[in-house]
Amino acid sequence: MSLSVILENVVRTYNGETVLGPFTHTFEAGTTTLIMGPNGCGKSTLLRVCAMLEAPDAGSIRFTDAGNELQQDLALRRRMTLVFPKTTVFRGSVFDNAAYGLRIRGANAPFVSERVEEALVSVGLIHKVRQDARTLSSGESQRLGIARALALKPDVLFLDEPTASVDEEHTAFIEDLIMALDRQTATTIIMTTHDRHQAEKIAGRLVAMRRGVVVEDFCPLRNPSV
């Protein structure tokens, strides 16, 4: 199970102003793509459109699995997860927060426990499992948002500046986690960052944007998997 996301001349406008596009790009199944570009250039908008949270105003977006085009329904939407830069923390424990997505999908308790514990270990939050999630620090909350997504094992993982408020040590931790996901799973990862060094370190492919369009698209040489 592996998804490609194919955009052709996708345009998104707000109040008559084009903030994205025309954007043409294929995010290949099982690859990691890093998106860079200045504030307001359309990175988060791109992620929301790709994750089916917003429809484009023009152009087409398609999703394929082993060459077969998929119907754009709830089942497809549930194969994708977007982690926002600021995690919404709900009332309840860290465990409950990380379990949220699995529980709304009706997963049974032992399955939820196994997935959530694995996800919390991978972001270095297992020692906080019983803590009230609203008392986490901002960096811990951001890692909780990543754990909530990882627990779902999505086929496409969108990460919007996942290390923006995370310290150096845990940033390295999250970067390692993303590189391991890249190597060991078929997950398609699409991530934004403002850190060029980070982008070149973990990207299979790096896309730079300006004013809603692609201005650079290459495979960084430093990536050992390329």
Gyration radius of the chain over CA positions: 17
| Choice from 1, 40, 53, 196 touching ligand ATP (CB under 6 A) | 40
- 3-state class of 95 per DSSP? helix
User: Under the criterion CB under 6 A, does residue 207 sit at the interface with ligand ATP?
Assistant: no
DSSP states of 97-158 as a string?
HHHHHHHHTT--HHHHHHHHHHHHHHTT-GGGTTSBGGGS-HHHHHHHHHHHHHTT--SEEE
- Residue 19 Cβ, how far from Mg ion at the closest point, in Å? 11
- Listed ranges 44-52, 57-65, 94-102, 104-112: which one lies at the site for Mg ion (CB under 5 A): 44-52
In terms of CB distance, is 43 or 148 closer to Mg ion?
43
- Residue 11 makes contact with ligand ATP by CB under 6 A: no
Residues in the chain: 226
The backbone torsions φ and ψ at residue 191, rounded to the nearest 5 degrees and listed phi first, read -135, 145
160 vs 182, which CB is nearer to Mg ion? 160
**Which helix (H) or strand (E) segment is 76 a member of?**
helix 74-77
Identified binder of ligand ATP from the candidate list 32, 33, 42, 97, rule CB under 6 A? 42
* 44 touches ligand ATP by CB under 6 A: yes
C-alpha distances out from residue 144 to 116, 119, 127, 128, Å: 10, 9, 12, 10
Confirm or reject binding of residue 44 to Mg ion (CB under 5 A): yes
Which of 34, 41, 159, 190 touches ligand ATP by CB under 6 A?
41
Q: Which does 14 bind (CB under 5 to 8 A by kind): Mg ion, ligand ATP, none?
A: ligand ATP
119, two tokens: 């996800």
H-run or E-run covering 59: strand 58-65
Q: Find the shortest distance in angstroms from Cβ 36 to Mg ion.
A: 11
Among 1, 9, 14, 60, binds ligand ATP (CB under 6 A): 14
Residues that bind ligand ATP (CB under 6 A): 14-15, 19, 37, 39-45
Residues that bind Mg ion (CB under 5 A): 43-44
